[in-house]
Chain A
Amino acid sequence: MQRALKKYFPVFVAPTGIAFTIAFLLPFVIGIYLSFSDFTTISNAEWVGLENYQRAFDESQGFTSSFGFTILVVFVAVVSVNIFAFAIARLLTQKLRGTNFFRSVFFMPNLIGGIVLGYTWQQMINAVLANYGTTIISKWEYGFVGLILLINWQQVGYMMIIYIAGLQSVPPELTEASEIDGATRWQTLRHVTIPVIMPTITICVFLTLANSFKLFDQNLALTNGAPQAQTEMVALNIVNTMFARMGQEGVGQAKAVIFVIFVVLIALVQLRATRSKEVEA
């Protein structure tokens, strides 16, 4: 079996490999090249060196401020999504009636596209704020809260499913043993369950981190950066640089490269940090 797998390895990998090359690797390499160029379309690029990278940090670009806002959103979202998802997963792995039904209900929002969610929440939040004579784009705080609500609503269900899988893999002997030894529920959770499901936490934190960083359509539909680009996240800022301004394509591309490097670094740090806490059950 092992040998057969080895022999046919290229056949199995080739389709994915080719797709990956066409849809990811090549555009990525071309993208890096373009970030050093001045271009309107990808075929008329002219090399300009580091100029785009310098211009990316001009104040009028709003790149650094969108980074700040994004980090704030990501931080709050990662913490809140994971806490809610874990809490709900705990609840739904108890012996309660209708857990399967609730699992589906919580998972459902994940199936709806970001644009639809964005506009729906915008309407709902505006309907509430209208009672106070204001709207979601009047203050950035409203937009921020709106984004956090939206992200939670959309992602909690998905993370919950992963946490449920993790919780179900915790050997019952371990929790039983700790109960017999007189541990409280909190102590069992803290010293037995969480260490065992650490790999699940790694995955969930990684996914929420990546999802929140690259958040785009929700942001576009909910506030589109208003007021004054104060709720503009990095992905939206990059797209706006490419398409809402003239002669800025290279700068947008440079921002995209910087963004990729930054997110990869953060993700690696996070993986290393949570991995180091994983234990063998």
Chain B
Amino acid sequence: MFNAKKAVAVLTAGAFALGGLAACGSDDEAEGGEGSVYFLNWKPESEETYKKIAAAYTEETGIEVKVVTAASGTYEQTLKSEITKSEAPTLYQINGPMGLVNWQEYALELDDTDFAQDLNDPGLALQGEDGKIYGVPLAVEGFGIIYNEAIFEDYFAMDSAVVTSMDEINNFDTLKEVTDDMQARKDELGIDGVFASTSLATGEEWRFQTHLANIPVFYEYDEEGVTDKQEIAFSYNENYKNVFDLYLTNSTVEPSLTPSKTVTDSMQEFATGKAAMVQNGNWAWSQISDIEGNVVAEDDIKFLPIYTGVEGEESKSINIGTEAFMAINSEASEADQQATIDFVNWLFSSEEGMDYVTNDLGFIAPFESFGDSTPSDPLAKEVNRYMTDPDLEPIPWVFTTFPSQKFKEDFAGGLAQYASGNMEWSDVVDIFVSSWASEKANLG
């Protein structure tokens, strides 16, 4: 008879061996050789383009480039499991300084790489506590209030309009006056509301719990001259409330219904001309242009800074910064690390690579080599306009220092309750302050 017992023993041993591998992870196999690149991509919408880039690079240099994409919203999970494998990602993303706290052990120092030295603004790099660079942004993005200029032109032409040109709207008071007046005349203007609906459905609140919150936190940091705080006072909460109330009351929907609205709903209202303004970033361009029944002309889509009523805000522009930083796996073999560095250098400095970045990925790349070349979509052009305007100072993205997703969700929950009328503003402020403190303390 075929020796069944032996077969079982072999199979079981095999199983344990496999299990053992899964348990202890990344022992690199033979060093040397040419090395290869394994890029763990976090933007599902860019997957096809990255695959094209990888193929082009392999054809040119013979170096293998593997691209794996994490499904939307699961990047941290995917990274956690992928990085322990024997074939771990060599190029991955770190999500700001908070992300670096978690991934420090796996992040290679990048000070000497060409792409790190080529940054427009060295301050954009992600630095560790030791002042060394561990992450380099691959794109800068901007967010503010996107407006439809055509609707404003209609308004300016009306009798007794509060202002007659966009240039006059450069502080919160004017913005509020204009918005209130437009809301009162919404039927004449042919819109459902000035602002597209505030999306507070779960998972859809990031425009408010993260982006809008960037502004009061920035002013608080700025006032005290710090870049992060263990405990926050949320001293500019009234400014947050100013603009949040403005969004809620001068909107296409009742405030109490906002917890059922998604970002897609808001972008749809804007794209179909039912709302004159919507708070979002330049990445929203594809959402505006792809929506069926889109009536907004490309030339009419512009950015307005988010004014909240802080003194001196006339000189501030939109929020420009970056959240995703490229990092190289310090646990990968040296050959792989070198191959990865070469690949990134190629992508951001060779003509072919740069063409992919600007025209296919649509990134505003923050490197000297790119000069003035920017993507051709209207919002990216606007970001570039604000970036290069010498009179206006962009508000940097400080929300990368927000303690955790949990904190953002806690705050968003408060916002939804406030919008529904179940919670006082002071309670929302309490949630912000206490959740910040406890989540920061957890990082310890």
Contacts and interface: CB of A to CB of B under 8 A. Distances in A.
Interface residues of B, number: 56
B23 A30 contact: yes
Interface string B344-358: 000000000000000
Interface in B1-30: 1, 4-5, 7-8, 11-12, 14-16, 18-19, 22-26
Contact of B22 (A7, A8, A26, A134): A26
B414 interface: yes
Contacts of B22: 22, 26
A68 B438 CA distance: 22
A205 interface: no
B5 A10 contact: yes
B45 interface: no
Contact of B202 (A8, A44, A223, A248): A223
- Size bin of chain A's contact surface: 35 or more
Contacts, number: 134
Interface of B: 1, 4-5, 7-8, 11-12, 14-16, 18-19, 22-26, 76-77, 80-81, 83-84, 98, 101-103, 105-106, 201-203, 254, 256-260, 403-406, 409-410, 413-414, 416-417, 420, 422, 431, 438-439, 442-444
A11 interface: yes
A22 B19 contact: yes
Contacts of B84: 41-43
The 9 A-B pairs with the shortest beta carbon distances in the complex, nearest first, are A43-B25, A224-B202, A244-B405, A26-B19, A135-B260, A138-B420, A126-B260, A135-B259, A10-B8
B15 A42 contact: no
Contact of A226 (B4, B81, B259, B406): B259
Contacts of B404: 244-246
A129 B38 CA distance: 48
A154 to B, nearest CB: 20
Interface string A67-98: 00000000000000000000000000000000
Contacts of B438: 60
A139 interface: yes
Given A11-B4, A244-B409, A225 B202 contact: yes
B15 A22 contact: yes
Interface in A216-251: 223-229, 240, 242-248
Contact of A10 (B4, B15, B422, B444): B4
A223 B259 CA distance: 10
Nearest to A14: B8
A226 B405 contact: no
A129 B257 CA distance: 9
A182 interface: no
A223 B203 CA distance: 10
A226 B422 CA distance: 13
A224 B204 CA distance: 11
A224 B262 CA distance: 14
Nearest to B256: A133
A227 B417 contact: yes
Nearest to A127: B260
A242 B80 CA distance: 11
Nearest to A59: B438
Given A14-B12, A43-B84, A226-B202, A133 B257 contact: yes
Given A22-B15, A134-B256, A246-B403, A226 B416 contact: yes
A151 B16 CA distance: 38
A154 B405 CA distance: 30
B203 A224 contact: yes
Nearest to A240: B406
B4 A246 contact: no
29 contacts: A7-B4, A10-B5, A11-B8, A14-B8, A21-B19, A40-B80, A40-B105, A41-B80, A43-B24, A126-B260, A130-B257, A130-B260, A133-B257, A135-B258, A135-B420, A137-B416, A138-B417, A223-B202, A226-B416, A227-B413, A227-B416, A228-B410, A228-B413, A243-B76, A245-B439, A245-B442, A247-B101, A247-B102, A247-B443
